[in-house]
Amino acid sequence: MQNGTKKIAQLGLFTATLLVASNMMGSGIFMLPVSLAQIGGITVYAWVITIIGVLALALTFAKLAVHYSEGAGPAYYAQQAFGEFAGYQMSWIYSIANWIALVSLLPIITGYLGYLIPAFQNIHVALITQIIVIWLMTWVNIKGTSFVGIFQSSTFLIAMVFIFIVIIFGWHYYHPAIFMAGWNPQHLSTSTAINHSFNNILWAFIGVESACVTAAAVKNAKRNVALATIFGVVIAAVVYVLACIVIMGIVPHDVLINSNAPFETTLDIMFHNNYITAGMAIVTVLKCLGATAGWMFLIGQAATAAAKDKLFPKIFAQNNNQGMPRNGLIILGVIYTVIVVVTISPHAQMQFQQIITISVILYLFPYIYGALAIIKLGKDKLPLKNYIFFSILGVVAALFCGWSIVSSNNTLALCGMLLLFIIPAFYGLRKNSPNP
């Protein structure tokens, strides 16, 4: 244990920055340009506001993480600041958001497979494929293979090479006229376009709370966690913004909004080389398969920890001979399957959009609680000037998250609110149970 702690403590600013950035630059980038193209290039205004709001949120979490390194995440901060019920409520909402968000990888897989083999564009084939992926990756996790982490990391790096090819060399093929033709296709007012963009853009920054995880692992945490957070958010933002802008300036708007594989479509226009575009599609599919397995592992472990803390049913804490929560993974597999069946759409981008909309809304509730927690938790931990500054920052972050919820899809936002009202009933049953 001492050796492991010593090794973790050697993480410097550069490594911590890459950790924060890579946690945000997940598989969402492979479909995000299509989602934003529906609204148009006018979304660049929303990027600016979102980056400011995300930085306020990230810096608040980073400051809390330095002083509460024994626990990571907004749900933990909610419990420490507002009590056991708030922690229970936010833990459940955060977990449900994770379960839904994981499924967002599946339409990316079938969307890019459809570029290679048109049969995967069929809704029934896509549905069956996504269910097969769920249970294949569940089986991989139950077996406890250590190959998943290496596979996920290597495919991520290869996929980033293709993404940077588009970002760097794409400007040679960029046409301002194409970009401006899709500037505001729905003829929305600027404020309306910004409001409609928040949910999509925030998806790019889900994982910003990873600063909480790095705090206990970073050398000179009081200085480097905040810097790593700022640099990580900026790096992720630059990659996302450049990728979206360059693609919108290469691919005609009417083609882009109907694409299930925007990077393949872009590479095809750039190079007219089937090997390059097929290579990108294959790497994207493999990357998302690895990410699915890796995310299933993390969610399974989180559910096990929650069960040991008596937040989840005991069945989630039962491990098999490989040390994996077999029963919990199977239950989660059923949940993922239900989400797929409910969200499946004729177009991969439509399914992706539904999933990220509801999951982002759910993530924002714990983010609000976590951001406001600084007001109480920082009172005895921070010097007065720092306390005032970070309290204001926390309020700004919470207001931004609230603004994003209000401007989201009304029906899905109401579903999120409904969860807030349902969970207290389960909390009451848990408290009244003789063996909680």
pLDDT, the chain, mean: 87
Name, of 317-331, 360-374, 411-425, the range with top average pLDDT. Answer: 360-374
**DSSP 8-state symbol, 344:** -
pLDDT score at 337: 97
In this prediction the pTM is 0.89
pLDDT score at 72: 61
CA–CA distance, 267 with 247 (Å, rounded to integer): 9
Contact 64, 377 (CB under 8 A): yes
Contact 14, 220 (CB under 8 A): no
Per-residue pLDDT, averaged over 210-227, amounts to 73
pLDDT score at 390: 95
pLDDT score at 420: 77
Q: Which residues pair with 218 in a beta bridge?
A: 11
CA–CA distance, 123 with 245 (Å, rounded to integer): 30
Name, of 230-244, 273-287, 332-346, the range with top average pLDDT. Answer: 332-346
CA 239 to chain centre: 15
pLDDT score at 70: 61
The CATH number assigned to the domain with range 11-432 reads 1.20.1740.10
Burial of 71 (0-12, 13-18, 19+ CB in 10 A): middle
Q: Does residue 432 register a pLDDT over 80?
A: no
- Token pair belonging to 311: 């937040």
pLDDT score at 214: 58
Q: Does residue 354 register a pLDDT over 80?
A: yes
DSSP assignment string, 306-335: HHHTTSS-GGGG---TTS--HHHHHHHHHH
pLDDT score at 67: 83
pLDDT score at 212: 66
CA–CA distance, 244 with 292 (Å, rounded to integer): 24
Q: Does residue 116 register a pLDDT over 60?
A: yes
Q: Does residue 349 register a pLDDT over 60?
A: yes
Tens of pLDDT, residue by residue over 37-47, are 999 999 999 99
Average the pLDDT over each of 118-122, 200-204, 381-385, 427-431 and give the range with the smallest value: 427-431
pLDDT score at 436: 45
